[in-house]
């Protein structure tokens, strides 16, 4: 097809007119949208502590990665950091304490959420 044929075909078509109830339907939908309640805002007050904690953990991890990686730069293979025997036992105990505190926190938050739904809090 050439441009002239396309222009002739498109030029002979009738003008498009909306159906009789189109305007009324559109205006009805617009009024429904205007009457709808506003969307629920994002709970930034609850999200900020998690964002700050995540940023802190990622920042601390990056610092530790760099700190552990600097002495290893001269070596070709990466080796796991060696922990002196005197620190192994206290680090293991600290890990268990951190795990217990985390489980306690999650349990407390879960129970608080359930009690909040029932109206007790």
pTM of model > 0.75: no
Residues 19 and 6: their CA atoms lie apart, in Å, by 27
d(CA 26, CA 30): 6
pLDDT (tens digit, 9 = 90+) per residue, 2-61? Answer: 888 888 887 777 777 778 889 889 999 999 999 988 888 888 888 999 999 999 999 998
Q: What one-character-per-residue DSSP string does the chain give?
A: --HHHHHHHHHHSPPP---TTHHHHHHHHHHHHHHSPPPPPP-HHHHHHHHHHHHHHHHHHHHHHHHHHHHHTTSSS--PPPPPHHHHHHHHHHHHHHHHHHHHHHHHHHHHHHHHHHT--
97-116 tens-digit pLDDT: 999 999 999 998 888 888 77
Q: How far is CA 38 from CA 33, 35, 41, 108, in A?
A: 10, 9, 9, 33
CA atoms within 13 A on the CB side of 30: 6
């Amino acid at each position: 097809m050439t441009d002239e044929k396309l222009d002739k075909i498109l030029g002979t078509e009738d003008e498009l007119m909306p159906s009789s109830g189109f305007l009324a339907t559109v205006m009805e939908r617009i009024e429904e949208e205007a009457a709808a309640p506003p969307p629920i805002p994002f709970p930034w007050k609850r999200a900020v502590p998690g964002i700050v904690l995540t940023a802190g953990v990622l920042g601390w991890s990056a610092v530790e990665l760099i700190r552990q990686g600097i002495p290893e730069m001269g070596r070709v293979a990466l080796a796991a950091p060696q922990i002196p025997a005197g620190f192994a036992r206290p680090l293991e105990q600290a890990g268990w304490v951190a795990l217990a505190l985390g489980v306690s926190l999650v349990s407390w938050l879960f129970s608080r959420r359930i009690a909040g739904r029932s109206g007790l809090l």
